[in-house]
Structure 1
């Protein structure tokens, strides 16, 4: 079984209306947190910038949470603006729901395939792994990876998920020998 991997190349843009210029696109840039202490309670925000006017906006990560409820590693990560913590926070679906934004993955991922396809290993079985929850349509991903048209993919490829419905989890597919 051949491994294909979908990897994030950068953080996705956020579809979020800017209150200043009414643009629909924002970015987390290099990723910064703002932490505010009020007694034994903490507020944590992820700062994002409008892609058009550069205005900064805060996305609520934690609100009035007791300091004791945080893991020490998370507190250090928030204070140090840890890039891995920024990415995992931004990709959290609960944060998106609470702050009313969606992620725009256009141009933010790349498909990594083995350099050579074995000609004698038919039927060709491929396992696609997504390192981040990138929403991709299996049909388009397979067409790109194999260099086929989408009609050819529909006709020849057997996939374990609906090929026209976006998925953000891994899947497998089989390509029988050519006609």
Structure 2
């Protein structure tokens, strides 16, 4: 077996939908909320604006508001950003929801189960060893061991035995990494 790495295969982790919010509902015992269609509410009071992101309970469909901007002067928001809020731009909904300060301010976590997929080319039979480069299009937190096991169709114990990697296999990561399959 040659120690020279012959191939580098690119893998990409992509978000398929927005994650659910781990946020208790005020009306029912549910602990999950979703963004639905991704809507903002913009309210003007004189020269001051309030902007909220609307989220719905997944069980009872109650709408709650997450504050994005509170009593900011109209002129302090760039025109493009304000237009995005009023048009309910889906990219702006995703950016707002995935921004760490939004989760910190409103004390919720993101539930990423079923929200991502792995795009991977087929693994060639030879030459060995193979190097894989994993890239994240969105900040999806996944365990490298689980991702590699899914992508290669191996058990996690076999992944531990056959994979050389610089990041911990059992800790969630959102950053690009690479590994070698021997």
Aligned counterpart, 2:159: 153
- Aligned match for 2:45, one of 32, 38, 48: 38
**Could you say what secondary structure the match of 1:168 adopts?**
coil
- CA distances 1:3-36 after superposition (whole Å, capped 9, x unpaired): 1111111111010000100210100011000011
What is the TM-score normalised by the length of structure 2?
A: 0.93
Gaps of 5+ in 1: none
- Aligned match for 1:123, one of 122, 129, 154: 129
Aligned counterpart, 1:88: 95
How far the C-alpha of 1:134 sits from its partner, in A, is: 0.8
Aligned counterpart, 1:62: 69
- Aligned match for 2:60, one of 29, 45, 53: 53
Aligned counterpart, 1:167: 173
Aligned counterpart, 1:104: 111
- Aligned match for 2:35, one of 21, 28, 32: 28
How far the C-alpha of 1:40 sits from its partner, in A, is: 2.0
- CA distances 1:108-165 after superposition (whole Å, capped 9, x unpaired): 1111101x22222321101111111111000000000001100000111011211111
Q: 1:121 to 1:51 in 2, by over 3 A?
A: same
How far the C-alpha of 1:170 sits from its partner, in A, is: 1.3
**Could you say what secondary structure the match of 1:48 adopts?**
strand
Please give the alpha-carbon distance, in whole angstroms, between the structure 1 residues aligned to 2:101 and 2:145: 28
What is the TM-score normalised by the length of structure 1?
A: 0.95
Aligned counterpart, 2:3: none
Number of aligned positions between the proteins: 175
